[in-house]
């Protein structure tokens, strides 16, 4: 799927990018690279440097976090149109979770540097992303509240 129009169509289904204009998505699609993963491949590891946004084009991945006891806890699974690594586009903190391919998976990768250059050229991209990132924060807060309620 190396042609930009096809990649832009996939980007349109990704919640993080769906609010962008067709032109903005096409520019990002031109910058993206693709990578394939086999079942069991670790795509990113918790604690590693975070410099890339990943968009799941095909397949299925598990997002896992190591607990304080060292046990792996599955946070979620992501299929086509799922995304991870978005925090690394914004800050320089290490990866918050490990992501493992559960089946043959194809991802589009967008580097922090390319993304930041696009933001400098078109700040409206940031305005389009804020509601999606805010929704993720609200989902995490709700999950945390549910977990705390279970523990009470």
Instruction: Compute the average pLDDT of residues 20-40.
Output: 93
Quick one: pLDDT band at residue 137, thresholds 50, 70, 90? confident
Highest mean pLDDT among 14-18, 70-74, 79-83, 127-131: 79-83
CATH code assigned to 4-151? 2.60.120.10
User: What was the pLDDT predicted at 2?
Assistant: 56
CA quadruple 17, 19, 22, 24: dihedral sign: negative
The domains of the chain are located at 4-151
E-strand ranges in 6-152 read: 33-37, 42-44, 52-58, 61-66, 72-78, 83-84, 98-101, 105-111
Quick one: pLDDT band at residue 84, thresholds 50, 70, 90? very high
Give the global pTM. 0.83
């Amino acid at each position: 799927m190396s042609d930009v129009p096809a990649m832009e169509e996939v980007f349109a289904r990704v919640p993080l990018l769906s609010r962008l204009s067709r032109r903005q998505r096409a520019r990002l699609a031109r910058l993206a690279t693709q990578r394939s993963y086999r079942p069991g491949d670790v795509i990113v590891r918790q604690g590693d440097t975070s410099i890339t946004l990943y968009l799941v084009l095909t397949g299925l991945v598990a997002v896992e976090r190591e607990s304080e006891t060292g046990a792996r806890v599955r946070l979620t699974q992501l299929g086509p149109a799922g995304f991870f690594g978005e925090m690394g586009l914004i800050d320089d903190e290490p990866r918050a979770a490990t992501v493992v391919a559960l089946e043959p998976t194809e991802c589009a990768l967008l580097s922090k540097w390319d993304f930041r250059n696009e933001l400098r050229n078109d700040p409206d991209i940031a305005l389009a992303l804020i509601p999606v990132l805010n929704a993720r924060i609200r989902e995490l807060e709700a999950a945390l509240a549910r977990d705390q309620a279970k523990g009470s």
